[in-house]
Amino acid sequence: MSLSQHNDTIRFLVLDGDGIGPEIVRSTLTVLDAVSDHFGLHFSFEKLPIGFEALSIEGTSFPERIMAAIPNCDGIILGPVDHAAYPPPSEGGLNPSGELRKRLELFANIRPALSRPGFPPPCGKNVDLVVVRENTEGFYADRSMFLGNGEFMPTPDIAMSLRKITREGSTRVAVAAFELARRRPRKLLTAVHKANVLRIGDGLFLECCREVAKQYPDISYDEKIVDAMAALLIRDSSQFDVIVTTNMFGDILSDQASELSGSLGLAASLNAGKDAAVAQAQHGSAPDIAGQDIANPSSLIGSSAMLLGWLGERHNDQRLIEAAEAIERALSEVIAEPAKRTRDLGGKVGTQTFAAHVADTLRNQT
């Protein structure tokens, strides 16, 4: 993907997903329309079906034409998917998120946990950290084998799971984390592991992190065992800045950190690689509340801000960086007002009304 500056139009591929996906995607586009108006940017959106919609139409939850469309877009906005409820892959039930992460080499899942002004976190202490999660290998069964699945049952009573850790995967996610730490004021990085038990796999991961650390003498580097890290986040998360870890540990710790910061419903997420990035809410598809206009769209809105920031940094476009910052400010201003919050945050407004508040707040920024 490359920024389409030849006609000053920034093109997004939009994938609604399942459950609340279409609702929060619609809200996100409402905010991006306001960004376009306010900053004089030109966005275009191409929508393609995925998930259950695509399965019913095309017999697969991830049609190949999605991959064919990606070279012509600058970024991807992905709604949450309910892949656990899909049929087996042999029957068309592919996980769109996993497919994009693997096939686009989106090796870094960047998940900030940030407390919002006026919305006190449950533990009473503000949180401001980022989890950088390795995204293409680890214990995830769809990411550990070239052919077949990383889980298998040699007998009906034995289930086995394979974990893949590579030097390439560990090194590149460590570099991404150190680069991020260098851009943050505190310049702290913590590598999280279980090398005291998983001596070979996590031992290799730590070896790579330590080698990369030598290239960043300006970054304070330390290491924590994952179970201790889980406890330390609850005790005092303020001591942490950037956290880098393997796939499963990062998935768990980022959800914990986001909930400690205020709510998982506020947690943005960006899947980033060398040449592509996907904005994706950190939470799931919540099918139990789908279609009721009560879902909180903050996570995907914040994820779209991260995507704009990624594009701005990658292409040295200050307009996109400022647009990303404006979305973040607007989200904070709206969340700070109880009367404008969605139900999960203690308010009463619906999904689309919340998005309209964020869009209006953004347009009124100076």
Which option is the CATH number for 121-261: 3.40.462.20, 3.40.50.2300, 2.40.110.10, 3.40.718.10? 3.40.718.10
- Hey, which residues does 43 pair with through a beta bridge? 10
Catalytic residue chosen out of the listed positions 86, 140, 216, 221? 140
Catalytic residue chosen out of the listed positions 18, 194, 221, 224? 194
Catalytic residue chosen out of the listed positions 74, 82, 241, 251? 251
Over residues 87-103, the mean pLDDT reads: 93
Question: What whole-number distance in Å separates Cα of residue 313 and Cα of residue 323?
Answer: 12
Task: Give tens-digit pLDDT for 109-158.
Answer: 999 999 999 998 887 788 999 999 999 998 887 777 777 788 889 999 99
Measured in whole angstroms, the distance separating CA 320 from the mean position of its chain's CA atoms is 18
Asked if 202 is an active-site residue, the reply is no
Asked if 142 is an active-site residue, the reply is no
Catalytic residue chosen out of the listed positions 255, 293, 317, 344? 255
Asked if 140 is an active-site residue, the reply is yes
Residue 37 token pair = 């108006």
**pLDDT band per the 50, 70, 90 thresholds, residue 1:** very low
Where along the chain do the CATH 3.40.718.10 domains lie? 121-261
Question: What whole-number distance in Å separates Cα of residue 222 and Cα of residue 243?
Answer: 10
**pLDDT band per the 50, 70, 90 thresholds, residue 3:** low
- With tokens 């680069």, the residue in question is 179
What DSSP string runs through 251-272?
Answer: HHHHHHHHHHHT-GGG---EEE
Question: What whole-number distance in Å separates Cα of residue 84 and Cα of residue 59?
Answer: 17
- This prediction's pTM: 0.93
SS3 content of the chain, % helix, strand, coil (to 5): 45, 20, 35
Are 232 and 239 in contact, with CB atoms under 8 Å apart?
yes
At residue 188, φ and ψ (nearest 5 deg) are: -120, 140
Are 338 and 302 in contact, with CB atoms under 8 Å apart?
no
Q: What does the DSSP 8-state code read for residue 88? A: P
Catalytic residue chosen out of the listed positions 227, 236, 275, 360? 227
Residue 356 token pair = 């309209």
- What is the three-class DSSP state of 151? strand
Task: Give tens-digit pLDDT for 286-345.
Answer: 999 999 999 999 999 999 999 999 999 999 999 999 999 999 999 999 999 999 999 999
Per-residue pLDDT at 80 exceeds 80 = yes
Residue 14 token pair = 């939009």
CA distances to 67, 129, 227, 310, 345 from 313, rounded to whole Å, are 24, 20, 35, 5, 32
